[in-house]
Amino acid sequence: MTRVLAGPWAGQLLGDYGADVVKIERRGKGDDTRQWGPPWLGSESAYFLCANRNKRSVTVDITTERGQQVTRDLAGKADVLLENFKVGTLKRYGLDPIDLMTANPRLIICSISAFGQTGSRATEPGYDAMIQASGGLMSITGPADDENGGPQKVGVAIADIMAGMYATTAVLAALQARESSGRGQIIDVPLYDSQVAWLANQNMNFLVGGSVPGRMGTAHPNLVPYQAFPTSDGNLMLAIGNDRQFVACMECLGRGEIAGDEAFASNEVRIQNRAELITIIRDRLAQDTTAHWLDTFTKAGIPAGPINDIGEVLSNEHARDRQLVRHLENGAGDAVPTVSNPVAFGETPVTYSSAPPLLGEHTDEVLREWLGYSAEAIAELRSASAI
What gap in Å lies between CA 264 and CA 316, rounded to an integer?
37
Neighbouring CB atoms inside 10 A of 299's CB total: 9
Phi, psi torsion values for 250, nearest 5 degrees: -65, -35
Question: Which helix (H) or strand (E) element contains residue 354?
Answer: none
Helix segments in the chain, DSSP class H: 6-16, 46-49, 65-77, 89-92, 97-103, 128-134, 158-181, 191-197, 200-209, 243-252, 256-260, 267-272, 274-285, 290-299, 310-313, 317-321, 363-371, 375-383
Quick one: which of 374, 334, 341, 376 has its CA closest to 357? Answer: 334
Residue 189 β-bridge partners: 112
Strand partners, 25: 59
Give CA angle at 267 (261, 271), nearest 5°.
90
Q: CA 137, CA 157: separation in Å to the nearest integer?
A: 12
Q: Is 334 a catalytic residue?
A: no
Whole-angstrom Cα distance, residue 21 to residue 47?
19
* Residues contacting residue 308 through CB under 8 Å, at least 6 positions apart: 316
State residue 235 phi and psi, 5-degree precision: -145, 160
**Is 51 in contact with 82 (CB distance < 8 Å)?**
no
Tell me which of 61, 128, 160, 193 is the catalytic residue.
160
**Residues labelled as active-site residues:** 160
